[in-house]
Amino acid sequence: MEDFFLGIPTFLIELYNAVFFGYLIKYSINKFNINKILILTLPHCIFEIPAIIIAGAAGFKIPYEIVRHLAGKKEQPLTKEDIKEYLTMALISIILIVIAAWIEANITLKIAKAILNSTKWI
């Protein structure tokens, strides 16, 4: 179905994520200490942000190949190589999101408690 929309849903979802994340950071900076925000977000964001970007790239892959086909730059709309590349990006994205979720659930709070208890950042 996304082929029909040529990546517009992917673009809108990525735009929503970027705007929401920006608003959340702005709100958090006004409400909390910047050091506390960084401690609570950086450990898992190292994996989560690239995962979101890769997922967006994967979402644009198939529509991009179809547009290339319609423009006459490609003989077939999708080749096995295109599908393999799409699935690879999707799998990498899923793996990175799972790693980020695990870090957020198991490591981030331990790091934050250790750092915040050892200094006067509160």
pLDDT digits (tens, 9 = 90+) for 91-110: 999 999 999 999 999 998 88
Q: Where are the domains of the chain?
A: 2-118
pTM: 0.73
b vs e for 90-122, b when ≥16 Cβ sit within 10 Å of the residue's Cβ?
bebbeebbeebeebbeeebeeebeeebeeeeee
- What pLDDT is recorded for position 4? 59
- For residues 30 and 116, what is the distance between their CA atoms, to the nearest angstrom? 19
| Two structure tokens written together for 95 | 């793996």
Burial zone of 12 (CB within 10 Å; 0-12 exposed, 13-18 middle, 19+ buried): exposed
Answer whether 59's CB lies under 8 Å from 12's CB.
Answer: no
- For residues 101 and 83, what is the distance between their CA atoms, to the nearest angstrom? 27
Average pLDDT over residues 25-49: 85
